[in-house]
Homo-oligomer: A and B are copies of this chain.
Amino acid sequence: MTLKVYADRMSQPSRAVIIFCKVNGIEFEEIKVELSKRQHLSPEFKEINPMKQVPTIVDGGFKLFESHAILIYLACACPGVADHWYPADLFKRAKINSVLDWHHSNLRRGAAGFVLNSALAPALGLPLNPQAAAEAEKLLSASLGMIESFWLKGNGPFLLGSSQPSIADLSLVCEIMQLEVLDEEDRNRILSPHKKVLQLIEETRNATRPHFDELHAILYKVKARLRELCVAGTMTGDRPSSRSE
C-alpha cells in the first residue's frame, strides 16, 4: 500500500517531508489538505489527525504526525535512505535530535511568528501585529545567529559541520525558506547578516535538486499574490500561512 502524505506545500514541515520522500525515491501519494480552504478542519481529516495539522502520513494502517517524527520514521523504515540523513551512529543521531528539538522553541517560533504577523495575517483575516512581529523578529534573529555561530561550526557546510545533509538541515532550511514570502526589505534585514545560513540554504538546495525548487515554487506565487492584494488595497483573503504543527 502506498504511503500517503497529507500536506500543504505552504506549510514548511510539509515541504520538508515531501522533499525527503522525493530525494530518497520513496513512493508516496501526496494528498493536498488546503489550509486556506480549511480542509484541515474537515471531519474526514480529523479522523486521520485529531490535531488537525499537516503534514500527516498514513503508511498502511499506521498514522503519524509531527514532521520531525515523520522524517525519523521514514529514514528508519524506508530501505535505501542514505545514512547521512539520520545516522545510525548514536552520537551523531543524538546531535541531530538536539537540533530538531531546539528548532521547535527557537527558529520555528521566531520564523513562523514573524511571517504571520508581518505578512500573512491579512490573508487569514487577521490584522498585522507589529508588536508580535517585533517580538518574533528578536527570536528569529537570535536563532539565525545561533545557527550561524554554533550549529554551523565545523568543516562541512551542513549543520553540525557535516559534509552531507541530515533531516535537520532539511527541516530548518524549509523553515527559513518561509521568509521568501516577506517583502524584500524585511527578508534582507533579517537574513543578510547570516552568510553561513545563506550558504546552508544553497547547499541544501543543491543537495536536493530539483525537488527543492519545485516544492518552494508556491512561496513565490503567494508572495506575488500578496503584493497584488496589497497594491489593490484589498487584503481580503488568499492562502493563509499554515496550520501546520
Contacts and interface: CB of A to CB of B under 8 A. Distances in A.
Interface string A148-169: 0110000000000000000000
A150 B73 CA distance: 21
Nearest to A74: B94
A206 interface: no
Contacts of A73: 90, 94, 97
A103 B131 CA distance: 26
A64 B98 contact: yes
A230 B100 CA distance: 39
B62 A91 contact: yes
Interface residues of A, number: 29
A172 to B, nearest CB: 14
A242 to B, nearest CB: 13
A220 B119 CA distance: 45
Nearest to A150: B50
A146 B97 contact: no
A98 B76 contact: no
Contacts of A39: none
A62 to B, nearest CB: 6
A121 interface: no
Nearest to A66: B101
Contacts of A77: 90
A50 B146 contact: yes
Nearest to A153: B50
A40 interface: no
B66 A97 contact: yes
A187 interface: no
Interface in A75-122: 76-77, 90-91, 94-95, 97-98, 100-102, 104-105, 108
7 contacts: A68-B101, A69-B94, A72-B97, A73-B97, A101-B104, A104-B104, A104-B105
Given A62-B91, A73-B94, A104-B104, 18 more contacts: A50-B150, A51-B102, A64-B95, A64-B98, A65-B98, A65-B102, A66-B97, A66-B101, A66-B102, A69-B97, A69-B98, A72-B97, A76-B90, A100-B101, A101-B104, A101-B245, A104-B105, A105-B245
Interface of A: 50-51, 62, 64-69, 72-73, 76-77, 90-91, 94-95, 97-98, 100-102, 104-105, 108, 146, 149-150, 245
